[in-house]
Structure 1
Amino acid sequence: MLVALGANLVIAAAKTAAGLFSGSPALLSEAAHSVADSLNEVFLLLSLRRSRRAPDSDHPFGYGKERYFWSLLAAVGIFVLGGCFSFYQGIHALGGTEDESRSGYVAGLAVLLIALLAEGASLLKAVVQARRSDEGADDPALRTVLAEDSTAVIGVLFAAAGMVIHMTTGNALGEAIASMAIGALLMVVAFTLGRTAHHQLIGVSVDAELRDGIRELLLGQGEIDTVEELLTMRLGLDSTLVAARIDLVGGLDSERVEEVSLRIRRDIHAKWPTADRVFLDITDAGTEREARTTRERRAIDSDASTPEPEHRQ
């Protein structure tokens, strides 16, 4: 990722220099896009380093969610630095009345061609890595890199198209539309990444297939009568919380219950290595159902006894 960061910084500097020289709003929008990508890669590097810290007394479940937090900041960076600035460039180009110079557009297009080749190679590498990785869909860092590289390739094509239209027609409208298209694209990507990071940051369960697999394993234990409740939450890419309330068959002494609990934890972790936080709550299903029914009845009685507010005439 350090190599990708260095490449992005060089591309951002080249786009900025070419954009200032040519005065192209589309090229300046792409420069802002590259600056946002560079800042986001700094965030992702921080997330990778901080999320690997070992659990401590203040964070007993570890720091796995650091990745989601920094991914959320990266999404904000894409939205503000990339999307908003690109929209500003497009609106500024629409409002301009002077005939803008096109003297530096050839150099600008050359810079965009080099950027397209670099971003395309980076995108191809990220796609291959995602296909090889079992956690590609859940890794916020890899997902952000894929989104950045994809939008970078599309953004370069938008900017080049706008510049070519400007060169051939002498009208800056094409570049204005290209700049706003880049801004809209970045805002959509930022919103999608931010929503996903927020969803994972506040706590999300594992996928239904894994959850059903854990339930099936529990029900397959001869000592378990019923699984009253099964709760899961992703603590990070390599850590998952599993909490199950189970009712055991009768006749088991305390020592046997302890042996069964230890074996179940080991079986779950052996089959799903990321399920490293497994908690079993041994309960009496009959007593639990009776208590739940009592609570529900009390809630119904409480609602029925609450007087309705009087309506004023």
Structure 2
Amino acid sequence: MAEAAARTESVGTVVVAGAANLAIAVAKLVAGLLSGSAAMLSEAVHSLADTTTEVLLYTALRRGARPADPRHPFGYGKESYVWALLAALFTFVAGAGFAVTHGVTTILVHEHRGDYLASYVVLAVSFVIESVSLARAARQVRRESRRWRTSPRHFLRMTADTTVKAVFLEDSAALVGLLLAAFGVGLSQLTGEEVYDGIASILIGLLLLVVATILAYSNVSLLVGRSVPGRIRREIEDELVGLPTVRRVDTLLTMQLGPADVLVAAKVDFSDDATGADIEAAADAAERQLTGRYPEIRYVFLDPTRARPGTADPAPDPDEPPPGT
């Protein structure tokens, strides 16, 4: 199934990113201790924070994929957003906090000791490794965006799969952070002023702050309960209205229950001459058609109701995310 393949690919993307970040964190730490560079030590903490984030994201994927049970009839999909939110908060506190604090300390103390060569070597190797991890995440983003007939940029902004979004943003931030560290170390070596090293460390911290804020906002929105995008909502409504015995859809509600779980509930006005058997057949047909078109739709509830005079359909929000992405 498409959603199962997407989840498996997300797990692979997270594992690759985690392994890369762990190796890079160790190398940066050694280089930072040998060179005394604030930017390098900040980058080491940056990679360590990313590694911890990948562990939390892996936990999110595994726990969120558990099947429904009597106590959780709609499954555990939203739990994945809890772990992803914790990952964003860890990046915010540990990564950004250390980088900014250490950068300010370096500017105030204005001291450097050690050799610069180790920093340059580790930065170059780290850039290659991070590029490989980012390339994998970018391939998944492009593939999923084609599946949902949208642009990669829009997919990243709206996707409900916050794990692949986190990996892509963190790997992108890692590459930018490496460039900032290289400029900071290089300018400090050329000028003999450690202030540039400290500024680079602060900029790395601010970069992590931006990424953590974006990811935290996305996960909070999904935890609160986010609907599918306007385009998907209109297509769902068209499917329901197209059923033979349906006159109109009075109310249509959708909710993202997890990265690959969507709930659809609608108040439907059936034809006055529709029998109970007709309504049952229409409900079965609606579920088959919707789940066939969008495998991420797991629950479809139709409530037969009389149309209320003057009732208007709620306006769809074009900025909502595609279901199961």
Q: TM-score, normalised by structure 1?
A: 0.88
- Alignment-derived partner of residue 19 in structure 1: 32
- Alignment-derived partner of residue 147 in structure 1: 169
**1:3, CA displacement in angstroms?**
4.1
Give the aligned residue type for 2:77: G
Aligned residues: 287
Give the aligned residue type for 1:10: A
Give the aligned residue type for 2:192: G
Provide, for residues 237-279 of structure 1, a one-character-per-residue CA deviation record: whole Å limited to 9, x for no partner: 2211000001111122222222222222222222222112000
1:128 aligns with 2:139: yes
Give the aligned residue type for 2:210: V
Matches within 5 A, 1:1-313: 1-97=14-110, 99-101=111-113, 103-133=114-144, 134=147, 137=156, 138=159, 139-286=161-308, 289=309
Provide, for residues 71-114 of structure 1, a one-character-per-residue CA deviation record: whole Å limited to 9, x for no partner: 111111111111111000111011114x422x321111111111
Structure 1 stretches of 5 or more lacking a match? 293-313
Structure 2 stretches of 5 or more lacking a match? 1-13, 149-154, 312-325
Identity of aligned residues (%): 40
Which is further off, 55-64 or 121-130? 121-130
Alignment partners' CA distance in 2, 1:110 and 1:78: 25
CA contact 1:229–1:244 (8 Å) conserved in 2: yes
Provide, for residues 133-157 of structure 1, a one-character-per-residue CA deviation record: whole Å limited to 9, x for no partner: 2376422111000011001100011
Alignment partners' CA distance in 2, 1:7 and 1:128: 17
Give the aligned residue type for 1:6: A
**1:121, CA displacement in angstroms?**
1.5
* C-alpha RMSD over aligned residues: 1.6
Bigger relative CO (Cα 8 Å, ≥ 6 apart): 2
Alignment partners' CA distance in 2, 1:261 and 1:5: 45
CA contact 2:20–2:130 (8 Å) conserved in 1: no
Larger radius of gyration: 1
CA contact 2:92–2:208 (8 Å) conserved in 1: yes
Partner SS for 2:269: strand
CA contact 1:242–1:275 (8 Å) conserved in 2: yes
CA contact 1:51–1:64 (8 Å) conserved in 2: yes
Q: TM-score, normalised by structure 2?
A: 0.84
